[in-house]
């Protein structure tokens, strides 16, 4: 047999080195990307909590007598909706969070808990009739959402 010398191609060792380098780069990039996703989800849910708080106050101002809505649907299905219809979707998380609403006539809370802790989000957040958002810090001291308002947690900036 006659073999040509100088034929192009990679040896097994060269291919293994390239695969090892790609694996090393992936091990650096993936955790950073996960943190970016978590930060984006947390920023988005805090914005959504502000929006929800404003919607509840608008609803209460127009109600006679002044009361908070009995459910989230009341904010979406009224003649002049305060929130868009995406708030009615309950079969998937909202920005990586599950939300739950509790209310009395004169108070409410909306609690946002991570749908998949440490993958989509880390901290739990809550907003109530005071308009203040409270949350956990690095997953510690999580607030609870009660019909009388948020319990526990640390007040956070927008």
Model confidence at 158: pLDDT above 70: no
Assess if residue 79 is contained within a domain: yes
Assess if residue 116 is contained within a domain: yes
**How far apart are the C-alpha atoms of 56 and 39, rounded to whole Å?**
26
* Number of domains comprising the chain: 1
Assess if residue 72 is contained within a domain: yes
Q: Which residues form the domain of 32?
A: 12-155
- Read off φ and ψ for residue 11, nearest 5 degrees: -85, 165
Candidates 102, 125, 112; CA nearest to 56 is 102
Assess if residue 3 is contained within a domain: no
* More confidently predicted of 119 and 49: 49
Percent pLDDT > 70 in the chain is: 94
Cα separations (Å) of 130 from 15, 37, 54, 57, 134? 61, 29, 11, 10, 11
**How far apart are the C-alpha atoms of 127 and 58, rounded to whole Å?**
15
């Amino acid at each position: 047999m006659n073999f040509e010398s100088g034929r192009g191609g990679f040896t097994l060792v060269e291919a293994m080195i390239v695969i090892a380098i790609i694996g090393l780069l992936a091990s650096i990039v993936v955790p950073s990307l996960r943190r970016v996703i978590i930060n984006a989800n947390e920023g988005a849910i805090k914005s959504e909590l502000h929006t929800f708080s404003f919607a509840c106050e608008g609803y209460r101002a127009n109600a006679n007598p002044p009361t908070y809505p009995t459910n989230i649907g009341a904010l979406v299905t009224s003649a002049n909706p305060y929130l868009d219809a995406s708030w009615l979707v309950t079969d998937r998380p909202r920005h990586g969070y599950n939300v739950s609403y509790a209310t009395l006539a004169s108070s409410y809370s909306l609690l946002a808990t991570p749908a998949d802790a440490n993958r989509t989000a880390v901290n739990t957040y809550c907003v109530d009739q005071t308009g203040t958002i409270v949350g956990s810090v690095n997953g510690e001291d999580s607030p609870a959402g009660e019909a009388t308002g948020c319990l526990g947690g640390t007040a956070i900036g927008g």
